[in-house]
Amino acid sequence: MRDKRTAKVLLIEDNHGGTRLLDEMLKDERKGDEALRYSEAMLRRLLDSNIIGVVSWSEQGEILNANELFLKMTGYSQDDLRSKAMRWTQMTAPEFAIADATAQAEMATSGTCLPFEKELIRKDGSRITVLESSALLGQTNIGSSFVIDISERKAADARMRLQSAALSAAANGIVILDAEFSIVWVNPAFEILSGFSLEESVGQKPRHLFNSSLPNGKIFDDIEKTLITGAVWTGEMQKNRKDGTLYCEAQTITPLRGEQGQITHYIAIKSDLSEQRKIEAQLRQAHKMEAVGQLAAGVAHEFNNLLQGLLSLATVARLRATTPEGAANAAKMETQIMRGAGLTKQLLLFSRRQEILKSELDLGEEVRKAGVLLSQLIPANIRVLIEASAQPLPIRGDAGQIQQIILNMAINARDAMAAGGTLTLSAGMLEGEVCLEVADTGEGMNDATRARLFEPFFTTKEPGKGTGLGLAVVQGIVAKHGGRIEVTTSPGQGCRFQVILPLLSLDADQSSEENADEELPSANGRVLLVEDEEGVRAGVEALLELIGYEVTAVASGEAAMSLSLELAPDFLLSDIRLPGMTGTTLAEMLSRRWPALKVMLMSGYAEDLSTVDVGGLGWQFLQKPFELQSLACGLLAFGHDGPGLTGTQLLPANVAGHTRFAEKS
């Protein structure tokens, strides 16, 4: 080459000005040498930098050299690599062997391989995730690999994916807004909550997406003013869904700040308060009903005492009447009083403080009795048909609760026919069972409503038009009577409820005896009457004297204990709820004084029966208001062998009396 250069120089010199051209050529050559040296220096600097790990390997795959960053990544030293004759494949995690083989095949074809992810095993056994690219040097199988540690980036990506998945899967609605309060992202829960899709929401401002004309629509201004200051906003507001329905929403909106501390976004966490508000309303309704129930029970008790006094005096007046007209007037009074007694039963049923006192009933008769009451509950635009079988339909049940079943279902049918229609109430036999049926020609129900029909507090009526308890109470009563309910309905085709109850087998003689009026019994003996209500005490005393008993009447248990009687009483007739000493305590103390004493307790509260084991003690129980027939038969029953009758056993005579008076009215 030197000879050629010399020749070229001589040639140039021969052409005049050759010296200048030679200087320029030598200068260019020096620049090329400097560039080469610079490139080599930059390569060495790159290899020794902390930007990328570089490792070179032999044709057999043994690691020949590595830069400091690669050694730091893996935890090895240069001596470790040389002394152990480490192979590149030894550092690769086994599950990435295929990826390594694929890279080798690429290099055999093109001399390089595209970057790919793999895991390297460090000296201490731990792993790092790297991005690797390799190349062969020249035509040999010797090459170098360039490695970037992406472990932190992978972990950050995993955290981001986890956070994104959590936001998407969250049950609460989540909305991310930009600094100008425009929506940039919403999660699926928000789409379900509001009805607006991600595509419909992005780019919109909440004040435009939702109806700002709602009563609290101006709250958007307050929210934005609060958030701009960097404060967190928490509160509730009413919003509209896409379909226009309203719901109450609770939300917390938090500003998100960038690296410089400036607010870049806002994140809103939302929850639907509709179910919570519904539960709160149910609890308020339940508390209200509990309070009303307590009031109703108290009123019923006081009213029963009042009715007992009036009924006793009316009965005495009827039996002592000297003219048919006087007896008839007294009988009318008894009828009206017993209607009042029916009202107190309804109050107790409403308050759920009425014990189930079952007796033999004719369901057909109960339907006919209910038909009279329906005339006061059903408007004139609804035609009422009563269809009760002429043959007896005997069941064992609580008369008051059977009436409640009928009335609740009839009211439900009435409310389904706001524009008018036909309500059919019937009773008959159905495949060996007794069937009560209430049918209407109203709007009917779909399957979704039918499925929730007996849920407590579920109602399709407007707020304030229903409690959602009527049919739930019916189902509970039917279940306690060993029956079932079948419902047939479809939209626009009305609804038919069938309450199916067990048939009670009765002897013909027994059935006929129950329908016959019994003769007024007569008896004698001494009765200690303890009743704090003066009117009740006077009326019951008159009844007892009327049928032949000698009566000592006092107003309290303490007064009864202080009596000095020449002869021990045969009977104790005491109210349970006395001021001071209760009737139960009094009965126990007097029974120890006079072991032969026969005890009959009475109360205006039916639930008092469950507080005393009257059957086990040989006592009896009378529910106020009671008729003379029940009182007399109860006292005479003590003459029978064995323990006294329980309140349940006494009830049929009482109910029969109610039935007779209802028939008279």
Q: What is the pTM of this model?
A: 0.45
Task: Quick: pLDDT tens for 169-195.
Answer: 888 999 999 999 999 999 999 999 999
Other beta carbons within 10 angstroms of residue 324's beta carbon come to 8
Provide the pLDDT confidence category of residue 355 given band limits of 50, 70 and 90: low
Provide the pLDDT confidence category of residue 422 given band limits of 50, 70 and 90: very high
* Fold for the domain defined by 49-155: Beta-Lactamase (3.30.450)
Bridge-based pairing of strands 173-178 and 263-272 is antiparallel
What pLDDT score does 274 carry?
84
Range with lowest mean pLDDT among 297-301, 310-314, 324-328, 395-399 = 297-301
pLDDT over threshold 80, residue 517: no
Question: What is the residue extent of each domain of the chain?
Answer: 2-46, 49-155, 170-272, 356-516, 519-664
Other beta carbons within 10 angstroms of residue 95's beta carbon come to 9
Tokens in use for 589? Answer: 């103390």
Most confident of 155-169, 232-246, 333-347: 232-246
Q: Are 57 and 88 in contact (CB under 8 A)?
A: yes
Mean pLDDT of 6-15: 46
What pLDDT score does 439 carry?
92
Residue bearing the bigger pLDDT, 9 or 500 = 500
pLDDT over threshold 80, residue 285: no
Provide the pLDDT confidence category of residue 350 given band limits of 50, 70 and 90: low
pLDDT over threshold 80, residue 648: no
What pLDDT score does 28 carry?
62
- Burial class of residue 468 in the structure, from the number of CB atoms within 10 Å of its CB (0-12 exposed, 13-18 middle, 19+ buried): middle
What pLDDT score does 47 carry?
61
Question: Are both 49-155 and 170-272 of the same fold?
Answer: yes
Provide the pLDDT confidence category of residue 641 given band limits of 50, 70 and 90: very low
Of 363, 251, 354, 349, which is closest to residue 623 (Cα–Cα)? 354
Query: How much of the chain, in percent, has pLDDT values that exceed 70?
Result: 79
Q: What CA–CA distance (Å, rounded) separates 40 from 24?
A: 25
Residue bearing the bigger pLDDT, 428 or 22 = 428
Range with lowest mean pLDDT among 301-305, 348-352, 447-451, 609-613 = 348-352
What pLDDT score does 512 carry?
40
Mean pLDDT of 318-342: 85
pLDDT over threshold 80, residue 203: yes
pLDDT over threshold 60, residue 339: yes
Tokens in use for 471? Answer: 């049919």
- Look at the alpha carbons of 649, 402, 660, 539 in this order and tell me if their dihedral is positive or negative: positive
Range with lowest mean pLDDT among 68-77, 492-501, 607-616 = 607-616
Provide the pLDDT confidence category of residue 32 given band limits of 50, 70 and 90: low
Compute the mean pLDDT over every residue in the chain, rounded to the nearest whole number: 80
pLDDT over threshold 80, residue 25: no
Range with lowest mean pLDDT among 22-36, 172-186, 393-407 = 22-36
Mean pLDDT of 608-613: 73
pLDDT over threshold 50, residue 107: yes
What pLDDT score does 640 carry?
41
Where helices occur in 430-504 by DSSP H, the ranges are 447-451, 470-480
Radius of gyration of the chain (CA): 49
Provide the pLDDT confidence category of residue 514 given band limits of 50, 70 and 90: very low
Q: What CA–CA distance (Å, rounded) separates 569 from 550?
A: 9
Query: How much of the chain, in percent, has pLDDT values that exceed 90?
Result: 29
pLDDT over threshold 90, residue 6: no
How many residues are present in the chain?
A: 665
Of 281, 626, 224, which is closest to residue 458 (Cα–Cα)? 281
| Yes or no: domain 170-272 corresponds to CATH 2.40.37.10 | no
CA angle in degrees (0–180, nearest 5) for 198-203-206: 85
Supply the DSSP symbol for 609.
G
**For 3-47, what is the HEC assignment?**
HHHHHHHHHHHHCCCHHHHHHHHHHHHHHHHHHHHHHHHHHHHHH
Task: Quick: pLDDT tens for 250-271.
Answer: 999 999 998 889 999 999 999 9
pLDDT over threshold 60, residue 2: no
Other beta carbons within 10 angstroms of residue 537's beta carbon come to 21
Q: What CA–CA distance (Å, rounded) separates 256 from 454?
A: 49
pLDDT over threshold 80, residue 661: no
Provide the pLDDT confidence category of residue 1 given band limits of 50, 70 and 90: very low
Residue bearing the bigger pLDDT, 357 or 157 = 157
- 356-516 homologous superfamily: Histidine kinase-like ATPase, C-terminal domain (3.30.565.10)
DSSP string, 207-265: HHHS-TTSTTTTHHHHHHHHHHTT--EEEEEEEE-TTS-EEEEEEEEEEEE-TTS-EEE
Q: What CA–CA distance (Å, rounded) separates 420 from 159?
A: 64
pLDDT over threshold 80, residue 9: no
Provide the pLDDT confidence category of residue 147 given band limits of 50, 70 and 90: very high
What pLDDT score does 515 carry?
39
- Burial class of residue 272 in the structure, from the number of CB atoms within 10 Å of its CB (0-12 exposed, 13-18 middle, 19+ buried): buried
Task: Quick: pLDDT tens for 40-83.
Answer: 565 566 566 667 899 888 888 888 888 989 999 999 998 888 87
Mean pLDDT of 492-499: 90
Q: Are 494 and 441 in contact (CB under 8 A)?
A: yes
Stated as kind and residue range, the H or E segment containing 156 is helix 151-169
Provide the pLDDT confidence category of residue 13 given band limits of 50, 70 and 90: very low
Residue bearing the bigger pLDDT, 490 or 4 = 490
Q: Residue 378 to residues 22, 258, 462, 498, 665: CA-CA distances in angstroms?
A: 125, 69, 19, 20, 20
Question: How many C-alpha atoms does 81 have within 13 Å on its Cβ side?
Answer: 25
Range with lowest mean pLDDT among 171-175, 409-413, 569-573 = 409-413
pLDDT over threshold 80, residue 375: no
Stated as kind and residue range, the H or E segment containing 534 is helix 534-546
| Yes or no: domain 519-664 corresponds to CATH 3.30.70.1530 | no
- Look at the alpha carbons of 472, 478, 482, 488 in this order and tell me if their dihedral is positive or negative: negative
Tokens in use for 488? Answer: 């047939």
